[in-house]
Amino acid sequence: MSNITAHDLAGAGHSIRINRQPDECSWCHRHVHPKYIGAYVSLRNNDAQVLYRCTAAECERIFIATHILVKGTSGLTGTLAQVEPWKPERLPFPASVAEVSPQFVAVRNQVEAAAGAGLDQLVGIGLRKALEFLIKDFAVSQNTAAADDIRSQTLSACINNYIADENVKQCAARAAWLGNDETHYVRRWESKDVEDLRVLVQLTMNWIDNVLLTRKYLEEMQKS
C-alpha cells in the first residue's frame, strides 16, 4: 500500500491509499518500477487515474493505471483495475510457419490485440480465421498442383483431403470444431471454450512446424 494525492476537476487534492502500482509497462511489457507522475480522481465515477512513465531506457512511454475507489473509515482506498493504453506483444512464431503462412501470423497477432482490448467475443472468431489460413497455406505448400482446389474447399474438406500428417490432421480437425462453435449460435462442445481452441491452434502450428522442418532437412541432407 502507498499513499498518493489525486486532484479532482476543481483542483482539490484527495489522499488515496492504493493497493499497488503496475509492475509492467503496458507499451513494452518490461517489468519495471515506473516513475510516478501524478494522479486525477473522479468521485462521480469512483475511480482514480494515475500517470506513470516507464523507466526502461528503450521505452520511457507514459501509461495510465485506473484504480477503483472505495470509501472507508480511514479514507479512500484504490484497487488497481486496468492499465492503458495496452500494446499487445507480438507472438513468437516458428520461422518455417511464418514463411509458409504470413497471413496466419498477421491474423494471430490481431487476435491477441483483440484479447488485450477486452474484445473477447472476437477472439474465437479470429482464431478460427487464423486456423483456416494456416491449414490452407500449409496444404498448398505440400500440394502445389492442387492449390486452386485447396483454396476453394471448406476448411473441414481441406483437412480431410489434403493434410497427410496425422497429428496435424487430428489437432486441426478439433480446432475447426471449436472454431465453428465460436461462430455459431449454439455450441456443440459445451465443455470446451476459447482457451481450448487457442491450445489446439498452437498444437496444430507446432505439428506443422515439425513437418516443415523434417521435410527441409530430409531434402537438404540426402544419403551419399
* Per-residue model confidence (pLDDT) at position 165: 97
Q: Give CA angle at 172 (166, 178), nearest 5°.
A: 140
* Per-residue model confidence (pLDDT) at position 199: 98
* Per-residue model confidence (pLDDT) at position 118: 84
Q: Are 179 and 124 in contact (CB under 8 A)?
A: yes
* Per-residue model confidence (pLDDT) at position 186: 92
For the chain, list residues with pLDDT below 50.
none
* Per-residue model confidence (pLDDT) at position 27: 93
Q: What phi and psi, each to the nearest 5 degrees, are found at residue 178?
A: -70, -35
* Per-residue model confidence (pLDDT) at position 224: 72
* Per-residue model confidence (pLDDT) at position 1: 60
Rounded distance between C-alpha atoms, residue 201 and residue 179, angstroms: 10
Q: Angle formed by the axes of helices 120-142 and 194-220, to 10°?
A: 20
Question: Domains along the chain?
Answer: 2-84 (no CATH), 95-220 (1.20.120)
Q: Is 73 exposed, middle or buried (0-12, 13-18, 19+ CB in 10 A)?
A: exposed
Q: What phi and psi, each to the nearest 5 degrees, are found at residue 89?
A: -75, 145
Whole-model pTM: value is 0.75
